[in-house]
Amino acid sequence: MPDHLVLLPGMHGTGGLFSAFAAELASDIVPVAVSFPVKAPLGYEELLPIVLASLPKEPGWILGESFSGPLALTAASVCPGKVKGVILCATFIVRPLPRLAFPMARRLLPAWRCLPAGIRTRALVHGRAPGHLKTAVKDVLDSLDSGVIKARLRAMADVDCRSVFAGYRSPMMLLAGTKDGILGTRHLKMMVRMRPDVRAEIFDAPHLLLQHAPARAAKAVGTFIHIHSAGDRNGFQNFTERGE
């Protein structure tokens, strides 16, 4: 029986940016890419029902990218019978910036939208990223509604999933990029300190690591799912320690 993998997007809110990663997944892993409403200014509490409705009937896996990491953890905690495990990708479990930075970001949003496309995408993808990826990211950023962005910034300012993260006992995997221009490595280090039993897969990649390195990311996620589906936890520990 195939394993379903629900893919929750970053702050951009579109499942379309998962296409390259989804195409690289093993044939027995069925991706379910979720997109959030493009005009409705929804926070985590309002988005959670959308996430829960996207879970397949049979228990599956859930991946939360960036903004959606807290959503993936929350969904897994409230519906443990429908989620086998969680993959947290380039994300956080507590507000990623100091609280005062969020109202400033909301005020600067109009000026940010006027910046050249190259500057706006640089923190998300490498300068040497393929042209089609830069174009896709630019198009997504250009399409974002200001009210939606502000609502998601407000949600991140108040989020704190540390207790859920610390207490989650189903399989969990961390993915992070060493060149993440949005989060850096601070949040990854905090999560590893809190849960040294959960090993991280580290990429030489920017914030959008699934888009930058789709083949390697798909291999890592696929191995995680296959090993845990087979119930071989020791096998996964050996895999992560080798860093393959």
- The 3 state secondary structure assigned to 153-173 is HHHHHHCECHHHHHHCCCCEE
Rg, C-alpha atoms of the chain? 17
Torsions phi, psi of 88, nearest 5? -105, 120
- Enter the pTM of the model: 0.88
Cα 231 to Cα 223, 224, 226, 236, 244, distances in angstroms: 12, 11, 9, 10, 20
CA distance 8 to 117: 24
The predicted-structure confidence for 172-214, as pLDDT tens digits, reads as follows: 999 999 999 889 899 999 999 999 999 899 999 999 999 999 9
Strand-pairing partners, residue 243, are: none
Whole-number Å distance between alpha carbons of 84 and 97: 30
| pLDDT (tens digit per residue) in 89-135 | 999 999 987 776 767 777 656 655 555 666 666 667 765 666 677 77
Structure confidence by residue, pLDDT tens digits, 43-102? 999 999 999 999 999 999 999 999 999 999 999 999 999 999 999 999 999 998 777 676
